[in-house]
Structure 1
Amino acid sequence: MKEAFVKALGKGLEVSLDSFHIKKDKGLYKTIYNDFYTYYFKLINLDNLYKLAVCSENEDIKNINIEIVTINKLKNIFLNGK
């Protein structure tokens, strides 16, 4: 989740991973950055081996859905618009 947060900030490793903490509050993971900005997280199990962490300033992140697609479907989307 820390990697997702640093990417959401767009600052790379300029932000020390020890400079912030992520906590679970009322079923939602979040962190407060610079004592002002609140960022929210969602963990998504892609399968038994992989998880995806998504970070946003929007609390509605809990409603995000992820679709796993095949390489062939991606080709169709980009080449045919479908």
Structure 2
Amino acid sequence: MIDALQASGKPIWINEIGIRPDFPGTPDRAVTFLCNNLLKALLSIAPKYDIESLQVFELYDDPPTGQGAYGIILNDGVTFRPD
């Protein structure tokens, strides 16, 4: 997939990289996995594929009927998540 994106000749932005709320373990374990595995792998290939941007989290949580609490701000658009 990344080869096909590079062939477009445009810089690549990867958006909303994160971990689902049901990731097993503690929030600290999720952060460690994200940093040591996912981000490290993407950063290692960024120069080769002209990846310009990695955006780690969605800004706002989904509403209660959405897919989950992925954001760093509650879905009221004002309150930072306490966790």
TM-score bucket (shorter structure): under 0.3
**Richer in strand (by share):** 1
Q: Determine which structure has greater relative contact order: mean sequence separation of CA pairs < 8 Å that are 6+ residues apart, divided by chain length.
A: 2
TM-score between the two structures when normalised by the length of structure 1: 0.22
TM-score between the two structures when normalised by the length of structure 2: 0.22
